[in-house]
Structure 1
Amino acid sequence: MEHTPTIRSKIETELKQRGYSFSSFSKISGINRGTFSAMLNSNPPKPISVRQMDLITKALGYPEGWLYELYIDECFYEGKGHWKRIKPFLLRCVELGRRDFIQKVLSRLTEDLSYVPTIFELAEELHAEGKEKESVPFYECVVENERYYHSERLALSQYRLFCYSLTEDLESSLQAAIIFNSFRKSLPENYQLDGLLKLTNVYFNASNWEAAIKYATELRTLAISVYHQQVYNRSKNRQLDSFDTEKPLVVYYGLGHLLHGNALENQGLYEEALKFIPYYEDLTWFEGLDENGLQGVKRLQLWAKANLLNLKVLIGEVSSLASYVELLQQNPQEISHGLITIIESANKYNFSLDSILDVFSEEIGDYKKFVSKSSHYQISTLLWNYSRLYLELARYYFNTGRYSEAIDNIIKSLRVSSQINTKSTFIKGVTLLFEKLTGHITHEQLAEYEKVLEEVRYGMKQMVP
């Protein structure tokens, strides 16, 4: 039967082969001779720390992590987990990116489920240090091993994983939202607010208006409930508990109304959408506003003004166009959304917008530059806007008989749609291209179109597990 080496037998073999004594190796490794002897010869042997293991590895000229596979047994001496050894070892594995060793340690550690809270605490430490990617296996471990379905610890782990999963790929973000949403009510209220806003945005970008409205309604209901409790506590001169959120409370309340109205707008329910604007156009009545809160109120006032003009244009009030264009010029972050509205209106009411397109030619022509400069919106939201913008622009050019320009914009829409994996916009673009414009496509445009399709096929292969 083959003998399984231990970390000590491996070290002893190396020392013997190289002719080192404890004294000579102590000098080159920096480990005290007595300490080193106790590690190998005492009964029971003195535990080896991660730092000492790294010093031994360096002294023997091996790469970092050489003894880590064997060190896992050191962490579970006599079959029991020793957290004072395990935690430094896990943190060192995080530094080296050795997820394989992390998984092995966590698998053995969770044979005793009493360690789940400890693993969660370590995940939170990594999160607080900005090591989001590195904390994932620890949160996943909590999710897999938490015994109580409604525990706050499980809900917070699911929330962290949900947040980390939000990317430019809307389909991927939607899958993450589906997993998270059943845990949202087990979160503390501050995390509930952030979670509900993220859920609303995901479903909004996925054009699932019913779900977007559901979560937007929950968002503003929770925000006003928290607000009333804070007002009551102030009236009783009670000290307010720390309430840590990504945005001021007033913003969650305002966005709950704004996103509800925008979801109605996207369904063509313009008159109903107009009814939501008064709920966020002036929120100066909110008590306890700090500087961030006041800035949030100002942004909501701007969005209310923009959305009012936006809806007027969609309803067909062409006289509002000049004011809307001026507002967009003064607020470049709103251009992508505003242009969709203007082009949709032109397509519906048959008016020319060539002069307006000239004004925003730079923003239309180079979406990547615009997206990279924006600070108010998520990249996925802006890319989703641009995929729709180019599709509406293609319809405009088709309606005005400029087929080559229409095809160019369809290809742009398809490219952006494939980048964020928005199937609905992509399918609409392909349908428009083949049903109405096939006879007008040039060889160069066809080659570009086929190139985009190949990129989509490649992206889909990459997504297959």
Structure 2
Amino acid sequence: MEGAIAIRSEIRTCLQQKGYTLRSFADLSGVTVSYLSTLLNVDKIKPISVRYIDVIASALGQPEGWLYELYVEECFVTGSPHRSRIKPFLLRCVEIGLTDCIIVVLSRMLEDLNQLELVFEIAEELHNADKPKEAVPFYECIVENEKYQHSERLAISHYRLFRAALGQNLEKNREAAIRFAPFRNRLPVNYQLDGYYKLTGTSFNQHKWDEVEVYADEFQIVVKAACNDKIRRLESKKKAEPLVTDHPFVFYYGYSYLMKSLALQKQKKYKEAKAYIYKYNDLSWMKGMDKKNQKQVEQFKLWAEGNMYTLDILTNKRSVIPRYIQYLKEHPDEILAGLLTILESANNYDFFVDELLEEFREQISKFNKLSDKTHRTYYFSFLHELAIYNFKNERMHQGLNCTLHSLRLAIIMNNDSDFKQCVTMFELNKKFATAEQKNEYESIIKEEGNDEKFSNCSSRSGFWVN
């Protein structure tokens, strides 16, 4: 009650200081005299909406958020949370960035856990308004206070927090994935599809091949069940709402097998990997596909062709390299992954690819401009293999340059295992380093990585040529 009285006292004081009567202020603000009189009555307090607080503040020339700290009490003037005031107030606090007020209101609300329903409603409204970061405090509130561990509301909140946390920092991505993973099977099907897509990708970027396999296997179960349900509905001609997902349905089907095959490939289980490529090579059999789905079918067919070449090259079938090179030229987006494959095979089977690297010099020089985490992961692996290739061919200076470059990249991505791998490689070859390379190495390991450092480092030339 004290806060409610204080709000009205502040408004009255401001009116007096500026020389307004209720009549003159009513003319200025558009709020009727009778309503102003009722609102400002401290003997018989009538709740005031945050909209009227904003109207009065604007008319008085006060900044946005004026009296909001006092308005927190207004939300609880009857003793319990009042939905019609709390929800607009919290949404307005989000809009103008008053985090402290949000925290105080949420804390007061959760004296009654039945208010979690309203907190979740606000969080979902913010999410649907494309404000995932702003919704985080509300979802965190659900996660910390939900008493029913198998509630769908809790699982969705974990899912939203996982999605909001994903960025270029691989260690933070992993922490978010670990937190979300136990709730992955408690989600509605559409969220499960997107959740598994993000989980497998996060583990892939961390080179956690066993995890990728586990998630891909579970992913396949979910996507097959959804596919069978879709087929049954089409055959029975039952009307049902389509699954609302980030990608066309066929994408999830193909992606689950793609990730399984890649995880097997990375573990050198090439025969098993090939079997899974066949499962996403031709997905045209799916029923009820629109143009977006058909486009994805073609994309998976393209990936399957490239990954078949990959497996052949990794098993030393060098005769396919000319055809693979032509494939890469026709599909430039695949050049980074393709050159990584060829370098890996060259290192395993001791053959030279200098002319090939020279042929793609221009494309290689642009790899550093690829800023998403998956491409950066591939680029790190490319640099690592290129360093090995140079060392094997006694080009120590170029090998150390590659190692320094990849070391900076590992720092940017905050990938501890990659960082240690680079440090080990540099230390093993440190005796061949120039004074400049040693100084740069010592400087790198003392500083935090960022995009500017990455850009500066990536301008280095001479990765493979003398």
* TM bucket, shorter chain: over 0.9
Q: Name the counterpart of 1:311.
A: 311
Q: Name the counterpart of 2:455.
A: none
In 2, the alpha carbon distance for the partners of 1:29 and 1:106 equals 31
Q: Name the counterpart of 1:335.
A: 335
1:422 aligned to 2:389? Answer: no
Equivalent residue letter for 1:444? E
The residue matched to 2:100 in structure 1 has which SS?
helix
Q: Unaligned stretches of 5+ in structure 2?
A: 452-466
1:391 aligned to 2:384? Answer: yes
In 2, the alpha carbon distance for the partners of 1:113 and 1:145 equals 7
Q: Displacement of 1:72 after TM fit?
A: 0.7
Equivalent residue letter for 1:29? S
1:400 aligned to 2:393? Answer: yes
User: CA deviation digits over 1:287-318, x for unaligned, max 9?
Assistant: 22211111111111111111110011111111
In 2, the alpha carbon distance for the partners of 1:16 and 1:292 equals 64
Closer, same or farther in 2 for the Cα pair 1:76/1:4, shift >3 Å? closer
After TM superposition, list the pairs within 5 Å mapping 1:200-279 onto structure 2: 200-279=200-279
Q: Name the counterpart of 1:170.
A: 170
Q: Displacement of 1:136 after TM fit?
A: 1.0
Q: Displacement of 1:118 after TM fit?
A: 1.8
Q: Name the counterpart of 1:47.
A: 47
Residues 142 and 157 in structure 1, CA contact (< 8 A), matched pair in contact too: yes
After TM superposition, list the pairs within 5 Å mapping 1:353-368 onto structure 2: 353-368=353-368
1:67 aligned to 2:67? Answer: yes
> Which sits farther off after the overlay, 388-397 or 266-275?
266-275
The residue matched to 1:41 in structure 2 has which SS?
coil
Q: Displacement of 1:223 after TM fit?
A: 1.0
Closer, same or farther in 2 for the Cα pair 1:313/1:86, shift >3 Å? same
Closer, same or farther in 2 for the Cα pair 1:328/1:244, shift >3 Å? same
Equivalent residue letter for 1:58? S
Q: Name the counterpart of 1:345.
A: 345
1:125 aligned to 2:125? Answer: yes
User: CA deviation digits over 1:196-230, x for unaligned, max 9?
Assistant: 11111111211111111011011112111111122
Q: Displacement of 1:186 after TM fit?
A: 1.1
Q: Name the counterpart of 1:99.
A: 99
Equivalent residue letter for 1:345? S
Identical-pair percentage = 43
Equivalent residue letter for 2:102? I
Equivalent residue letter for 1:157? S
In the alignment of these two chains, the number of paired residues is 450
Closer, same or farther in 2 for the Cα pair 1:362/1:3, shift >3 Å? closer
In 1, the alpha carbon distance for the partners of 2:317 and 2:63 equals 71
Equivalent residue letter for 2:206? A
1:182 aligned to 2:153? Answer: no
User: CA deviation digits over 1:413-454, x for unaligned, max 9?
Assistant: 111111111222221111111112x12222322333233223
Residues 75 and 85 in structure 2, CA contact (< 8 A), matched pair in contact too: yes
Q: Unaligned stretches of 5+ in structure 1?
A: 373-378, 460-465
Closer, same or farther in 2 for the Cα pair 1:381/1:3, shift >3 Å? closer
> Which sits farther off after the overlay, 161-170 or 249-258?
249-258
Residues 190 and 243 in structure 1, CA contact (< 8 A), matched pair in contact too: yes
Equivalent residue letter for 1:440? F
> Which sits farther off after the overlay, 441-450 or 349-358?
441-450
Residues 280 and 301 in structure 1, CA contact (< 8 A), matched pair in contact too: yes
Q: Displacement of 1:411 after TM fit?
A: 1.0
User: CA deviation digits over 1:72-97, x for unaligned, max 9?
Assistant: 11111121211111111111111111
In 1, the alpha carbon distance for the partners of 2:4 and 2:292 equals 61
The residue matched to 1:228 in structure 2 has which SS?
helix
User: CA deviation digits over 1:216-274, x for unaligned, max 9?
Assistant: 01111211111112212222222233211122222212211111111111112222212
